[in-house]
Amino acid sequence: MQCVRRQPARTKSQESLYRASLALVLPTGLEDDGDLQFLMNGGDLLKVRSGSWKKTRYYKLQEDCKTMWHESKKTLKSKQTFSVEDIDEVRTGRQTESLRKYTEESVEGRAFSILFKGRQKGLDLIARSEEEAKKWVGGLEKVISNIKNLTPQKKTEHWIYSCLRKADKNFDNKISQKELKSFLRDINIEVSEDYAEMLFQKCDKSKCGFLEGKEIEHFYEILTQREEIDVIYEEYAKTDGLMSAADLLNFLLHEQKEDVSQNDALQLIEKYELDENAKAKQQMTKDGFLMYLHQPEGLISNLAHENVYQDMNQPLNHYFISSSHNTYLLEDQLKGPSSTEAYIKALLKGCRCVELDCWDGSDGEPVIYHGYTLTSKVLFKDVIKAIQENAFKTSEYPLILSLENHCSVEQQKIMAQHLISILGSALITKPLGDQMPTCLPSPEELKGRFIVKGKRLDKLEDMFSESKTADEESVTEEEDDEGDEEDQEKKSSKTKLLKLAKELSDIVIYCKSVHFHGFEDSQDKHNTDKLSRIYPAGLRTDSSNYNPVPLWNAGCQIVALNFQTACPEMDLNRGLFLQNGQSGYNLKPSYLRDRDTKFDPITLPDGPWLKNKTLHVMVISAQQLPKVSERKSSIVDPVVKVQVYGVPADTTMVETQYIENNGFNPMWNENFQFDVRVPDLALVRFSIEDYDSSSNNEFIGQYTLPFNSLKKGYHHVPLLTKNGDHLSSAGLFVHIMVVDAE
């Protein structure tokens, strides 16, 4: 019989704190939701790691409604919690490799998995009953959804409240001066004793030696005051101290340089004003103005670019395509795990070209892994199933399956069977139309379709003639360097016999792999009417990446990176494909699609690519930066870097002074200027680091976007982690101006 743990009853003050916390995180009425109450009461779950490691653990949602606590037998391990905000997905059933491998089908209805952002290992769990499994999953999904939908102000309020509650050691709803100093350290501010005392005395109106009620509210107001917002708002709020629709329109036209009308200003007031009285008068308060600046309309990236806005009817080779190298790997290239999860993560990030290194497996089933290494193996058919289920969740445009084929003819036939049976009619198995195509089809024509890239026995035009193909087992193919970097030293020559199954060859339609012999051999076709795929060298065994920008400048379409590696190069990839609805397809500039182009990114001769612009960036402030060290006493010293990537003449970097001991609300007000000659190929990267005079700075957050997606005026810049996940509440505040260079 399993032991059911019961939580001690809350005291009156704890119940008050609990209710206040729920009110900040959850919509009205949801605090009494049955699934949520189930999570907060907690319960036992069977944790599954392997066939022999299955142990019961106790889980519960803590009273901040953002943190899950779990029992651990490692009593010396201090961290026994994880944040709900770190959860990427809650997946019902036996939908992970571990659960499928180590559990029976009979637990399907009781099983679920918690998958985390980044490289954090997921949790495979089995509830005591199907009913309880539904409550766990339902409760977690509700909390996750509500946290995602919190306004920035609510997130700030809840975060500060949680830190205040943590500082209130005896749960008496009062804050002493010592507790206030501890609280400031928790939110990433270090202040002198004199300043802490001055702040405390300013709020302690009752002079009783602690803050409570309205005094804590006053302290919160002082803490969250945005002086820079006050200055901007007061300059434009000309109607009895508030912004009328006309005042807001004046701000949008003259400061934000937007092409809008008074009706647009009225819509913003209706959408974001918090005060109902002000809204009724068609006015915007300072709180409403700050709310607007935190919303998509107030962020730095052009809102129109969040949807597909480019022409998607050009041939495939006219686009940059988001591409992954050795997609199956979660870590390094030598001994890391291969997993279907790696494919799912890449696809959900908008990747449109994935790689499959295929080798003969046991029991006649081909496998995917990094050949001649200690990386683990995953079944080819399991990968294709995962791809089929997740291919078009982020982007509806075609997915290219880049096959690196090392299999015997028999297992190649099985590969073809799996591709055809699992992908069905979505798999391209013949050219579109009844005639030999003269160019590649467009992303629009191939929506929702899979394209196999690999070797082919004959030419595509043979499909439209009476001729027969060569015997499937006697074809000589030149070895493609691509995908074979792991055994370069084992090669004695550059060509070898490649026995290819006709069944697999026949489903390679538009993307036949051909070895690249050099630019001289390819001058008549390179990067304008063919697809070029670039990938990391074999020496990058740590799964590091190269700078993709020079390859994009040269017009290369499929610039494949190790998606599993958090690095500045992946930041650039995310930044480039942030636009066009994150479709994974970006239309190349016209001069990179023209066979007769004279464009050269190095020499920059005169031409339509020269659109000389001057970019002015004012780095104003940042908000709620996370700590980079677990140590309570460690406060960040933030420094901001602004980098432009593009053609060599445009590539540059500047940085601000560092602000000492303030990660909560640092302010710089520093101005920078950039000359950008080829804006179509430029990316702008904002990054914040923790300054260290004696060693390398530590990364805090970054955001990269195309130059042409920058919005003018005052804007918040959202910050992403190394893995590309949003840093909740954290942000940078800047002013942007772009003018034609003289």
The DSSP code sequence of 430-476 is S-SSSS--SSPPPTTTTTT-EEEEE--SS-GGGGGSSPPPPPTT--E
Tell me whether residue 566 is exposed, middle or buried, using C-beta atoms within 10 angstroms of its C-beta: 0 to 12, 13 to 18, 19 or more: middle
What's the confidence (pLDDT) of residue 464? 58
Range 227-298 has CATH code 1.10.238.10: yes
The whole-angstrom separation of Cα 155 and Cα 75 is 32
Q: What is the pLDDT of residues 412-445, one digit of tens each?
A: 999 999 999 999 999 999 999 888 888 899 999 9
Provide the pairing of β-strand 378-379 with 87-92.
unpaired
8 A C-beta contact, residue 177 and residue 199: no
- Say which CATH topology domain 316-592 has: TIM Barrel (3.20.20)
**DSSP per residue, 342-403:** HHHHHHHTT--EEEEEEE--GGG--EES-TTS----EEHHHHHHHHHHHTTSS--S-EEEEE
- Predicted local distance difference test score (pLDDT) of residue 239: 94
How do residues 30-64 score in pLDDT, each as one tens digit? 667 888 889 989 999 999 999 999 999 999 998 77
**Backbone dihedral angles phi then psi of residue 547, each to the nearest 5 degrees:** -75, 115
Contact criterion met (CB below 8 Å) for 376 and 369: yes
Burial 616-634 (b: 16+ CB within 10 A, else e): ebebbbbbbbbbbeeeeee
pLDDT, position 218: 87
What pLDDT score was predicted for residue 250? 97
* 329: DSSP letter: B
List, by residue number, the catalytic residues.
Answer: 325, 370
φ and ψ at residue 243, rounded to 5 degrees:
-95, 120
DSSP letters of 121-162? Answer: PPEEEE-SSHHHHHHHHHHHHHHHHHHHT--HHHHHHHHHHH
Q: What is the pLDDT of residue 164?
A: 77
Identify the segments of the chain with pLDDT beneath 70: 1-31, 72-79, 461-497, 516-526, 538-539, 630-633
- Segment 564-597, tens digit of pLDDT: 899 999 999 999 999 999 999 999 999 999 999 9
The domain defined by 153-224 folds into: Recoverin; domain 1 (1.10.238)
* Residue 193, H or E segment: helix 193-203
> Strand 81-83 and strand 67-70: pairing?
antiparallel
3-state secondary structure of 82: strand
**Pairing mode, strands 698-706 and 683-690:** antiparallel
Among 158, 144, 142, smallest CA distance to 17 is for 158
Check residue 488 and give its pLDDT.
Answer: 44
> What pLDDT, on a 0 to 100 scale, did the predictor assign at position 742?
73
What is the spatial distance between Cα 701 and Cα 686, in angstroms, rounded to a whole number?
8
Which of these CATH numbers, 1.10.10.10, 2.60.40.150, 2.60.40.420, 3.40.50.300, describes 613-740? 2.60.40.150
Fold agreement (153-224, 227-298): yes
- How many Å apart are CA 379 and CA 362, to the nearest integer? 10
CA nearest neighbour of 736 among 287, 250, 291, 298: 298
Q: Count the neighbouring beta carbons within 10 Å of the beta carbon of residue 183.
A: 20
CATH architecture classification, 24-149: Roll (2.30)
Residue spans per domain, the chain: 24-149, 153-224, 227-298, 316-592, 613-740
Strands 399-405 and 353-359: parallel
